[in-house]
Amino acid sequence: MSEKGLKNLRDQLDKIDNDLLELINKRMDIVYQVGVVKAHSGGSIYRPEREKQIIERLTKMNEGRLNKSAIEALFLEIFAISRNIELPENIAFLGPEGSFTHQAAETRFGAMSSYLPIGSIKGVFREVNTKKARFGVVPIENSSNGIVSDTINCLTKYNLKIIAEVILDIHHTLATTCDRVKDIKRIYSKDIAFEQCRKFLENVGLDEVEHIPVESTTKAAKYALKEKGSAAICSHVGAKLYNLPILFENIEDKDNNRTRFFIVSDFENAKSGNDKTSILVKFENKKGILVEFLTDFDKAGVNLTKIKSHIIEGHSIFFIDFDGHKEDEHIQKIFDKYKDNIKFLGSYVKEADDI
């Protein structure tokens, strides 16, 4: 292609970029007006079901090169920027910065939001409960390690609601200022990350260099940036946090390691048409009561997607997920029957059946 032809294409791109900026600014003007209305009415600025509907609508009408994942990534960032224009609010998450929980939070609230790294799951719940943060992001389960007990305990204690779930594929990167593998003399990371990337380290000849365990992969990235000849096994967002170059991505040995996170706040979601509900159930020690309870779900045609037993203060409780919304008529009947046994945790847009 000639220089003239290339310039013509670039001029077209510049024109499109100018139009995009104008249209996005028009959208933000309307978003600001919505924010004023919500500020007076007390409405929530985060509406996961509304965002899901927009993405589904745009995906169906799409006839271009963008796939659904690209549309989702693009518009989730626009939504996040929009929320900050409506009303900037704090998001507490299980820290430190650069953790996978931080990464999960950014997928929903974008890079511009105000994030509060908190040292414990209980601390995250406390910050949201005292309204120092509007939203909290915590892990609930991992495909390898199971349910996170601290999150279940906090869902039991606090009356916050699950308003969204985030399913994150857990990927590790090898990040370093070194240009070549042979220049790496030591690697920082968490113990579990070294184990999860053992085969990769053997394959590239890094199993014999010094492996230094630290309390977080974020701290590993910080050390690797400062020390010549060092590298870190860390998350993508952890490397980005310290502007540490990534030498290899997705270095974990297993490609099916996923973590599910909950976003909690102090309100309940409207129905989206594709919802999941989470509850905690506690029964007295009565023969057959659990079977009766589960049979009622089956008779109502409700699809149970998860049931996990858990011990709290010596008592057995059950954490249960099922398809549907609390306000669905057939589900309301079950809630009415077992109102003394069920603690409603939240109905929210379903991201996946299970991890």
DSSP for 230-279 reads: EEEEE-HHHHHHTTPPEEES---S-S--EEEEEEEESS-PPP-SSEEEEE
Average pLDDT, whole number, for the chain? 89
Structure-block tokens of residue 12 = 């077209």
Q: Are 172 and 300 in contact (CB under 8 A)?
A: no
Q: 331 exposed, middle or buried (CB, 10 Å; 0-12, 13-18, 19+)?
A: buried
- For the segment 77-83, the average pLDDT, to the nearest whole number, is 81
Cα–Cα distances in angstroms (integers) from residue 41 to residues 2, 36, 44, 104, in the given order = 58, 9, 9, 29
Residue 40 has pLDDT above 70, yes or no: no
Residue 45 has pLDDT above 80, yes or no: no
The pLDDT of residue 1: 66
Provide the pLDDT confidence category of residue 43 given band limits of 50, 70 and 90: low
- For the segment 126-148, the average pLDDT, to the nearest whole number, is 92
Specify the pTM. Answer: 0.78
The pLDDT of residue 41: 60
Q: Are 137 and 105 in contact (CB under 8 A)?
A: yes
Q: Which residue has the higher pLDDT, 338 or 257?
A: 338
The pLDDT of residue 202: 95
Lowest mean pLDDT among 37-46, 243-252, 336-345: 37-46
Residues 6+ apart with CB under 8 A from 26: none
Provide the pLDDT confidence category of residue 103 given band limits of 50, 70 and 90: confident
Residues 6+ apart with CB under 8 A from 256: 143
- For the segment 77-95, the average pLDDT, to the nearest whole number, is 80
Residue 63 has pLDDT above 80, yes or no: yes
Integer Cα distance of 239 and 224 in angstroms: 10
Provide the pLDDT confidence category of residue 108 given band limits of 50, 70 and 90: confident
Integer Cα distance of 275 and 221 in angstroms: 38
Most confident range, picked from 176-180, 238-242, 256-260:
176-180
Please choose, from the candidates 72, 30, 31, the residue with its C-alpha nearest in 3D space to the C-alpha of residue 53: 72
Query: In this structure, which amino acid lies at residue 269?
Result: N
